[in-house]
Amino acid sequence: MATNQKYPLRAALIGSLMAIALAPAAFASSHREAPFITKNPKVDATDFYMFRSYEPGREKFVTLIANYVPLQDAYGGPNYFAMDPDALYEIHIDNNGDAKEDLSFQFRFSSTNKDTQLTVGGKKVSIPLVINGGAVNDVNPAGLNVRETYTVAVVRGDRRSGARSSVTNASGGGATFDKPVDNIGNKSIPDYAAYSAKHMYAVNIPGCATPARMFVGQRKDPFVVNLGETFDLINIKAPAVEFLASAEKNARDDLALKNVTSIELEVAADCLTASATGGDPVIGGWTTASMRQGRLLNPTPGSAVGSSREGGAWTQVSRLGAPLVNEVVIGLKDKDRFNHSKPSGDSQFADYVTNPTLPALVEILYGSAGAKAPTNFPRNDLVAAFLTGVKGLNQPATVTASEMLRLNTSIAPTPSGAQKRLGVIDGDNAGFPNGRRPGDDVVDIALRVMMGKLCTLNLGCTPADAPAGALRFTDGAYLDETFVTAGFPYLKTPLAGSPQK
């Protein structure tokens, strides 16, 4: 296959992605990343964000965003994208470096069919839609035919056996919260931004002195990546010029018209860390989704009895910490195993980090064009990025090697308008891999780190170990902080299924 020798960076990236595409995973942060999860999109975690809040006046808080249900087309009715009432969605925090959860937020969902009926020819007949034609402009409006609600528990210690208590509404004390219906269209919901804003709650978390903020609902997917052309036998026209920064913006974003479902919490930093008692300000975070072990399908479902019955112990089927790990680090045969695993057991995956295949694929395909893989083994630079945190940045005082996002909460947030999309490797220590903000371009960052960028900074290796460490690898799908908002819930209003007024 011919390559454009004047454009080795772009060619190397595209070639490596094509090789990865031989597996059934998409090169998105965690969209459809493992064989089993493709069968269960409602529990497919797509992205996890954890960062010091940069909304003015909220700098003492940490925002946690767990996105689920990938590749949502806004017009995807009539049922749209409700969460799974038979699943358990969790956000976990480790605040002492032992790779075990010290704090978990557990979300459970319920769906109620109000069974709106119309009189047709003298008979009452149930309508086929989730809305009934009435106004949808408030919490649980009369115009909504299906009501989706959720509850939240906080668990301290082991997520299955630890002390569990309910998160409650700071206004009224209730423990059940409404989730807004998806953005069906401008006729059904003329002002979706105002409607969804009424579902942002101030909440009390037992054990935390300061109220938190919470939102669960559909958002515009903030992740960007050029998927289709890459997987279509590298169907991209490479520019006939040397690599320029403008090349980072010249590819389409295949998620530009996609929505996602977000679970968001903004929690006081001192509620998540052990620093309030003299401990470490560094926290680790990851998300999981679990399903029941048993499922019995009902051959004759009806209005009183559903299509299936679930039972048995919870079984974890999705896991997400740092972005792109299961996509481009974990081997195909172990992708489902990784989704079922816990950080405390990550030694079984160590070879994928210390001896990664992605840089080797790049070199096999385009080494003659200058894309040589790093030569330091084990890859201690990747161990720091993925398994321990970077010393002096976000490595906890006591650390067990394990894959998760790590955030040093003592590092002040970078204000909106001053953030660097490449985070730490561009001098912005409040960005990825010190946590992750929605505007961090993790595809470009991760590719450069995999090819040895940290070696050029003498982090775990030396510049001589990474012949291509200074190359500006990119997928060409650009992302920065302008793709999101400057305040909670940070992710933009979802695209409308019917945009016409």
Contact predicate 156/274, CB 8 Å: no
Question: Does pLDDT of 63 surpass 90?
Answer: yes
Burial of 36 per CB tally in 10 Å (0-12, 13-18, 19+): middle
Contact predicate 102/152, CB 8 Å: no
Q: What pLDDT was estimated at residue 231?
A: 46
Backbone angles phi, psi at 275, to 5 degrees: -70, -25
Contact predicate 83/147, CB 8 Å: no
Q: What pLDDT was estimated at residue 276?
A: 61
DSSP letters, 385-417, are IIII--TTTT--SS-----SEEEETTSPPPPTT
Question: Does pLDDT of 50 surpass 60?
Answer: yes
Is 248 inside a domain boundary? yes
Nearest of 175, 167, 194, 172 to residue 183 by alpha carbon? 194
Number of domains within the chain: 1
Is 341 inside a domain boundary? yes
343 contacts: CB under 8 Å, gap ≥ 6: 94, 99, 100, 284, 286, 321, 400, 402, 403, 404
Q: What pLDDT was estimated at residue 36?
A: 77
% residues pLDDT > 70 (the chain): 86
Is 272 inside a domain boundary? yes
Nearest of 411, 67, 29 to residue 265 by alpha carbon? 67
Read off the pLDDT of each residue in 344-365 and give the average, rounded to a whole number.
89
443 contacts: CB under 8 Å, gap ≥ 6: 27, 224, 225, 324, 474, 475, 477, 479
The sheet carrying 61-73 orders its strands as 45-52, 61-73, 258-268, 212-220, 201-204, 168-169
Q: What pLDDT was estimated at residue 15?
A: 36
Q: Where are the alpha helices (DSSP H) in 176-274?
A: 192-197, 228-231, 269-272
How do residues 368-380 score in pLDDT, each as one tens digit?
A: 667 789 999 999 9
Between 327 and 164, where is the model more confident? 164
Is 498 inside a domain boundary? no
347 contacts: CB under 8 Å, gap ≥ 6: 401
Read off the pLDDT of each residue in 88-98 and give the average, rounded to a whole number.
97
Give the separation between CA 437 and CA 434, rounded to whole angstroms. 9
Q: What pLDDT was estimated at residue 23?
A: 32
Question: Does pLDDT of 88 surpass 90?
Answer: yes
Is 493 inside a domain boundary? no
Between 411 and 252, where is the model more confident? 411
Question: Does pLDDT of 17 surpass 80?
Answer: no
- Reported as a pLDDT band with limits 50, 70 and 90, residue 459 is confident
Q: State which residues form the domain around 412.
A: 37-483
Q: What pLDDT was estimated at residue 244?
A: 39
Q: Where are the alpha helices (DSSP H) in 260-418?
A: 269-272, 325-328, 335-340, 350-354, 358-366, 380-382
Q: Which of these ranges, 10-14, 136-140, 143-147, 487-491, has the smallest mean pLDDT?
A: 10-14
Question: Does pLDDT of 101 surpass 70?
Answer: yes
Is 497 inside a domain boundary? no
Q: How many CA atoms does the CB half-sphere of 23 hold within 13 Å?
A: 24
How do residues 296-325 score in pLDDT, each as one tens digit?
A: 988 888 766 678 888 999 999 999 999 988
Read off the pLDDT of each residue in 441-447 and give the average, rounded to a whole number.
89
Number of other residues whose CB lies within 10 A of the CB of residue 228: 11
- Reported as a pLDDT band with limits 50, 70 and 90, residue 443 is confident
Q: Which 8-state DSSP code applies to residue 224? A: -
Give the separation between CA 496 and CA 243, rounded to whole angstroms. 37
Is 343 inside a domain boundary? yes
User: Rounded to the nearest 5 degrees, what angle is found at the Cα of 103, between the Cα atoms of 102 and 109?
Assistant: 145
% residues pLDDT > 90 (the chain): 68
Nearest of 121, 267, 145 to residue 201 by alpha carbon? 267
> 3-state SS of 89-122?
EEEEEECCCCCCCCEEEEEEEEEEECCCEEEECC
Between 230 and 477, where is the model more confident? 477
Q: Where are the alpha helices (DSSP H) in 126-205?
A: 192-197
Q: What pLDDT was estimated at residue 369?
A: 64
Contact predicate 83/109, CB 8 Å: yes
Q: Which of these ranges, 48-62, 134-148, 309-323, 363-377, has the smallest mean pLDDT?
A: 363-377
Q: What pLDDT was estimated at residue 363?
A: 79
Q: What pLDDT was estimated at residue 304?
A: 64
**Cα 248 vs. chain centroid, distance in angstroms?**
22
Give the separation between CA 211 and CA 172, rounded to whole angstroms. 13
CA torsion 421-425-429-434 (nearest 10°) is 90
Is 9 inside a domain boundary? no
How do residues 191-248 score in pLDDT, each as one tens digit?
A: 999 999 999 999 999 999 999 999 999 999 999 877 665 444 334 443 322 333 455 6
Q: Which two tokens stand for residue 220?
A: 């515009």
How much is the mean pLDDT over the chain? 87
Nearest of 164, 414, 402, 394 to residue 273 by alpha carbon? 394
DSSP letters, 18-57, are HHHTTSS--SSSSSS-STGGGG-GGG-EEEEEEEE--STT
Between 28 and 58, where is the model more confident? 58
Between 181 and 31, where is the model more confident? 181
- Reported as a pLDDT band with limits 50, 70 and 90, residue 476 is confident
Question: Does pLDDT of 65 surpass 80?
Answer: yes
Give the separation between CA 163 and CA 104, rounded to whole angstroms. 10
